[in-house]
A and B are shown apart, each in its own frame.
Chain A
């Protein structure tokens, strides 16, 4: 089945496009998602993406030429086809604006790609990024599976995402880690007990403006950083005592204590346990901590799910297992996706203090330095103490300075008085 490639509009305001450069030529094999050409609009240079597999033929627009939206600029022929199924004689299906709002059969879509906004990831987004055409059933399946519908190619009428586009995904993204211990009632009124895993709160106008302005001034994610020094004396004592008692049964590390304390602090500061989602902020009612693990050629963040509800022993065991899996490249996708907040620890490398880069769409990450012995002032006297520096990177679109500081203060209190974690 031949597929027409149309000059399409990214927004209802685009009326014509100039082909800057063809990336594929007549006779080239193309795959769905390939960039066929760069097209200059009134606003930016966009990629024209193939919407079918086959061979590009009948390229009718030369580089530098400007054509109206809706015009057939080429045809993609399927295997065995020698000519188009009469694209020229077929009445042009739909004008540009219809295509831009997502209706109509589409031979190609335009994406923001190279050009003045090179930083935007070149995924196949629909023309209007805030509106995804999807059936109610598909929406439910996607929500359940944690799949972002914007990233799913719809095969229904006009690119509508339907059940079959999601089949297989639901199973693949079931949480890998099951809760082992029955839970007491939610301990904090701050995180909603039971019910949905999260609440989507639409962005207010001021929040939208803040988001836009900060992005343009600081880059895709407007980071800011908060550092605090934590007295680790009592945490160290508690850890040593626990490990002494446990003998050879697997040691509890500082990192395990930090993960647990972070999770509990997030329960009290839901504002930091959130995802930035373009037009809304998703405040999670569950706490899934991503732990940055260095692997041979990079970094991956396996996830400890519901870390707030797990014991130190469980966290320790899981963290070791996940790190081991990460190093041997045996992590399942379900084991490294879906974290709501991350922790990166370079303490073992004797780094005192550093800043970590936020793992989108999360709104924050902690950079943990080493626990060092240093002189501290206790009661007006110099004394040896054990201190650790924590730096929190915050996405300013979600977390404001005071919000992050309040979270960090709770975390500091918990680490300085580990008994507080029992409250």
Chain B
């Protein structure tokens, strides 16, 4: 039976393709159904191309400051179109890489839109595929606009990241609605390419899910370089015209009118749960719109599992990837390491980068935990001084009695890389002392992690 597989996965994004590879590694016959490019949002219109564009932005800002370092590069000219083209190449390479991995692991890729059917079946076009063990739903999420205030995505003046990633030119001015990771990163990118950026956040501070000190540091950094930041703001109305949008923004008790060339919607995502036959198979949705799953990620319909964004927050590629591994190992009869949802790192790749793990200080207070905050600024770190990247800090929240690392927050260059020392520590229940006892090479940015651990113990050395 050519159309029968042990495991069928709906959606070839990070959760789906990693699940497919692990499933095949475990000896199960595997099919992956994808209607678009392999790699999903992450590879094609998310994580990967934005990182390429952010690097272009980083080069631009480095060149602007180069003189101080004894390098003259002349007048810095930027071209968003060229940067965009490069980012497309990077995405395409990565997507092809995923295709190669499917071949290498003998995963059957079925092109088309898959619709679930009862009895662990998936219909693609006129073909029906049978899953002997399970169907994995990994259909992911998409951007959403705010039609109720007149800001439906029109792909010209009201855009989402989907369009922003394909612009030939950076707009002259841009209002970004939503200052989570996506909004922060695009503010960084477009500002570096000469756009006048206004960042609007409904909650009290930008990066609302991060530690308040991280939000403060980024607010200062963005304002200093000329990005306008309006927190605690309500966009009451948006009026798109042919080549501009007028926004009415209420903040600090006053309403201001804002005229911008374009608006980038970066406030949340919607999961792709419509028209894939969920209800017909008995797969229920919870009150927040995600697919209802048990602790094994099985949906309300036996034999149907959900992984990635559709299975619930945090909507992060690496969370979905781990869920894919977890479910397939379970299906193969193994006892996978349980997923610690409180130990999923969160990273925003703006400049300076923001990375965190575990609880924020506010959450520690809210939960009435006894903690000590250890801090170390990169301005006191030799390596950071050398590269001139002295913005930011490492902050570690140590539980008072046993030294457990309750949370860690890093703002600064390479924060996205530095956080993993603390992620490994938390996964293995190392305390701040184990972190500090490990010898850190000198001079490195990582020393700031060790110093913050020391500071939480009241014996910081380098300050």
A residues neighboring B (CB under 8 Å): 1-3, 84-87, 89-91, 93, 105, 135-138, 140-141, 144, 157, 162-163
Contacts and interface: CB of A to CB of B under 8 A. Distances in A.
A135 B334 contact: no
Given A136-B430, A136-B431, A141 B333 contact: no
Nearest to A162: B429
A90 B332 contact: yes
A157 B427 CA distance: 11
Nearest to B429: A135
A140 B404 CA distance: 10
Nearest to B333: A85
B333 A84 contact: yes
B428 A85 contact: no
B402 A140 contact: yes
Given A136-B434, A162-B429, A1 B330 contact: yes
A141 B399 CA distance: 12
A314 B217 CA distance: 58
B22 to A, nearest CB: 14
A85 B134 CA distance: 13
Contacts of A144: 401-402
Contact of B404 (A1, A137, A157): A137
A85 B404 contact: no
Nearest to A135: B429
Interface string B362-403: 000000000000000000000000000000000000000111
B428 A135 contact: yes
A141 B404 CA distance: 10
Say what secondary structure dominates the interface of chain A.
loop
Contacts of A85: 331-333
B422 to A, nearest CB: 14
B27 interface: yes
A105 B335 contact: yes
B337 interface: yes
A138 B430 CA distance: 9
Contacts of B335: 1, 3, 105
A162 B428 CA distance: 8
Interface string B410-439: 000000000000000000111101100000
- Please tell me the size bucket of the interface on B: 10 to 19
B115 to A, nearest CB: 28
B456 to A, nearest CB: 15
Contacts of A138: 429
Nearest to A143: B402
Contacts of B27: 89, 91
B333 A135 contact: no
Nearest to B433: A136
A137 B333 contact: no
Contacts of A86: 332-333
Which 9 pairs, one residue from A and one from B, show the smallest C-beta to C-beta distance? A135-B429, A85-B333, A137-B429, A140-B402, A105-B335, A90-B333, A86-B333, A136-B434, A136-B430
A136 B332 contact: no
A3 B335 CA distance: 8
A180 B331 CA distance: 59
A159 to B, nearest CB: 11
Contacts of B332: 85-86, 90
8 contacts: A85-B331, A87-B333, A89-B333, A105-B334, A136-B434, A138-B429, A141-B402, A163-B404
A338 B428 CA distance: 29
A340 to B, nearest CB: 24
Count chain B CB atoms within 10 A of each CB in A84, A140, A141 and give the residue with the most.
A140
Given A1-B330, A90-B332, A105-B334, A140 B428 contact: no
A135 B401 contact: no
Interface in B322-340: 330-335, 337
Contacts of A157: 337
B13 to A, nearest CB: 27
A89 B330 CA distance: 14
Given A136-B434, A137-B404, A140-B402, A163 B333 contact: no
Nearest to A91: B27
Nearest to A157: B337
Contact of B429 (A1, A93, A136): A136
A87 B335 CA distance: 12
Interface string B210-223: 00000000000000
B430 A135 contact: yes
A2 B428 CA distance: 26
Nearest to B425: A136
Given A137-B404, A141-B402, A144-B402, A2 B431 contact: no
Given A136-B431, A137-B402, A144-B402, 14 more contacts: A3-B335, A86-B333, A87-B333, A93-B334, A105-B334, A135-B428, A135-B430, A136-B433, A137-B429, A137-B431, A140-B402, A140-B403, A140-B431, A141-B402
A76 B164 CA distance: 54
A76 to B, nearest CB: 12
Contacts of B334: 90, 93, 105
B401 A163 contact: no
Contacts of A89: 27, 333
Contacts of A136: 428-431, 433-434
B403 to A, nearest CB: 7
B117 to A, nearest CB: 24
A382 to B, nearest CB: 64
Contacts of A2: 333
